[in-house]
Amino acid sequence: MNRFLKYQTKIALYFIIILYIFISSPPIFASDPSFTISPVTLEFTLKPGTIHKINFEITNTSADRLSLNIVPSFFKPVDEFGNIEFNKNDKNLSNWLANNDYLPQVMILEKSEIKDFSPTISIPQNVQSGDYYLAFTFESTAKDTTKTRFKINQKLAISCLIFLEIKDKPQPLKISLEEFSISPRIITASPAIFTLRLKNEGRARIKIAGEINITDLIGRKIIDIPIPKQTILSNSIRSLSGPQNKLAWQTSSLGIYTVNFNLREITDSKSLISGKSYLISFPFGYLVAFCLVLLIIIIVFLRKK
C-alpha cells in the first residue's frame, strides 16, 4: 500500500514539474518583418496606347531575410474617409500589365538589402480618358527557424499606389456639394461641428484645399478654419470632416454668425465650389442668466395676479 502511494506521489510530482515547465516557457516570436517602399505613391499623365516603365525601391529593414509576394491590382475608394480596397481579380488587369513576364512573383531580400522594382504599364489603345488606379502590394511573412513549441509569424503588407491620368484631351472637373451642415446649430456648451461632403462626378481626380471663415452680424471676420489638402478620386464622395479631421469651432460670445466655405483646386488655385450657412452662439452662462430673468418675470407676474 505504501509502495502504491509512493508511486502515485511520484507521478503527481512529475506531472506538476512538467506542467510548470510548459506554463513558464514563454512563446518565442519570430522577428517582426519590416520593409519600406519608396516612393509609396506615383502619378503619371499618359496617352492611350502608351507603354511606360516605372521604378521604385524596396528596402529590407528587418533583422532577417524576407520573402515578399508581389500582388498587382486595381484599387478604388470604399468610403468617404480615404480608405480603399484592392481588386486583384479584375479581368482587365492583365491588359495593363501585358509586358511584365520578366517580373518575379516573389522577391527575396537579404538583411538590409535594397532592390529596384521596375514594372511596365501598358495603356490599352481603346481606353477611355480618365483616372485609373493601380497598385503593387508586397506581402511578407517573417520566417521563424526557432525550434519551439510556439511558432508565431508576423505579417506585413505595403502597397505602392499608382495614379494614372489617361487623356487625349483635357478632362473637365465636375464637383458637387452633397452636404454642408452644422451641428449643433445653436452653440451652448459644446462646439459646432461642420460636416462637408463633396462628390466628384468626373473621371479625373481632384486635389482640393480651402477654408471655412466665420463672420459676425456686421461682417467682421472672426476666424478662418483651414480645410487640409485632400484628393477626391473619380466618381466618389469624400467627407472633408471625417474622424481624423474634425472641423469645429466654439466661442464664448453671444451672437449670430455667418459660416462660409470656399474650396479651390490646388494646381491652379481656381475656386471650385463655395457655400454659406448660419449658426447662433448662446453660451451656457447666458442661457442660465436668461432662465433666471425669465423666472423672475414669471414670479412677479403671478404675484400681481
pLDDT in tens, 118-132: 999 999 998 988 999
Q: What is the spatial order of strands in the sheet that 56-60 belongs to?
A: 35-38, 56-60, 114-117
Q: Specify the DSSP class assigned to residue 152.
A: B
In a shared domain, residues 136 and 184: no
- Domain termination residue (choose one: 103, 134, 166): 166
- Domain termination residue (choose one: 138, 166, 194): 166
CA distance 262 to 276: 9
In a shared domain, residues 122 and 221: no
We report the CATH number of the domain holding residue 207 as 2.60.40.2550
Residue 246 CA, distance from chain mean position: 14
In a shared domain, residues 276 and 181: yes
In a shared domain, residues 143 and 242: no
In a shared domain, residues 279 and 159: no
The chain-wide mean pLDDT, for the chain, equals 83
Predicted pLDDT at 14? 52
The total number of structural domains in the chain stands at 2
- Name residue 214's beta-bridge partners: 223, 259
DSSP letters, 2-43, are: HHHHHHHHHHHHHHHHHHHHHHHSPPPBPPPP-EEEE-SEEE
Instruction: Tell me how many degrees the CA angle 46-73-113 measures, rounded to the nearest 5.
Output: 95
Instruction: Classify residue 105 as exposed, middle or buried by CB count within 10 Å of its CB (0-12, 13-18, 19+).
Output: exposed
- Domain termination residue (choose one: 166, 193, 220): 166
In a shared domain, residues 160 and 188: no
CA distance 251 to 135: 45
C-alpha cell of residue 125: 489603345
Q: Per mean pLDDT, which range of 15-24, 99-108, 139-148, 229-238 is the poorest? A: 15-24
In a shared domain, residues 71 and 145: yes
Nearest CA-CA partner of 283 in 246, 257, 240, 254: 254
Predicted pLDDT at 250? 85
Domain carrying residue 243:
175-288
In a shared domain, residues 114 and 206: no
Does residue 198 or residue 302 have the better pLDDT?
Answer: 198
Question: What is the average per-residue pLDDT within 203-222?
Answer: 91
Residue 142 predicted with pLDDT over 70: no
Question: What is the average per-residue pLDDT within 175-201?
Answer: 89
- Please report whether residue 23 resides in a domain: no
Please report which confidence band the pLDDT of residue 260 belongs to, taking 50, 70 and 90 as the band edges.
very high
State whether residue 204 is helix, strand or coil: coil
In a shared domain, residues 135 and 46: yes
- Please report whether residue 119 resides in a domain: yes
CA distance 281 to 95: 58
Residue 54 CA, distance from chain mean position: 25
Question: What is the average per-residue pLDDT within 286-297?
Answer: 73
We report the CATH number of the domain holding residue 123 as 2.60.40.10
Question: What is the average per-residue pLDDT within 68-76?
Answer: 93
Predicted pLDDT at 33? 79
In a shared domain, residues 198 and 137: no
Contact, 227 vs 246, CB < 8 A? Answer: no
Residue 44 predicted with pLDDT over 90: yes
Predicted pLDDT at 153? 57
Residue 150 predicted with pLDDT over 50: no
- Please report whether residue 99 resides in a domain: yes
